Amino acid sequence: MTHLTGKTVAIIATDFVEEPELVEPRDALREAGATVKIYSSSTDPIQAVQGDTDPSGTIDVDGTFDDLDAGAIHALVVPGGTVNADRIRVDHRAQDIVRRVMEDRRPLAAICHGPWLLVSAGLVRGRSLTSYHSLADDVRNAGGTWTDEEVVVDGNLITSRDPDDLPAFIKALEDALT
């Protein structure tokens, strides 16, 4: 199935990204015909983890945040992993990327702890979203409405809670790209 041929999706992540939250969307989107590229704070491979703490493999990146032209992509994915999310949320380049994607009303899909970046970028006020349950207060304190659902779609914003929600998360992202 190649219904996403011609679409370009960027994934932004750093070390200690939750592996399935990066790999499963990447692979599904590529299988559907999209071009998917991974960007990080450096060009070094990303250390992935399982369950937030157990190192798994490394993931090659296609470039740095500085190399990503947010205006040239059709969608952006922000995977979780507590350490990854805590690092990326304070990176001003990553904040600028998510702001640009939101301004352009392109699909922005964040899962698990990934919505921390949206909080830090000032993008959740007035929005409905979900995340890993420990971020609920952060979302509410930033003016968003947090709900405990496997996927929440609010305009171009797609959010999910954790790796168990990946099938619904990926479907929502693919639907937004078609």
Residue pair 165/115 in contact by the 8 Å Cβ criterion: no
**How far, in Å, are 31, 39, 42, 167, 171 from residue 28 at the CA level?**
5, 18, 25, 10, 9
Annotated catalytic residue within 3, 74, 113, 133:
113
Is residue 3 annotated as a catalytic residue, yes or no? no
H-helix or E-strand spanning residue 8:
strand 8-12
Residue recorded with tokens 């949206």: 118
**How far, in Å, are 41, 49, 98 from residue 60 at the CA level?**
12, 14, 21
Residue recorded with tokens 């006020």: 125
CB contact set of 27 (below 8 Å; sequence gap of 6+): none
Phi, psi of 107 (to 5 degrees): -60, 130
Which positions are annotated as active-site residues?
A: 113
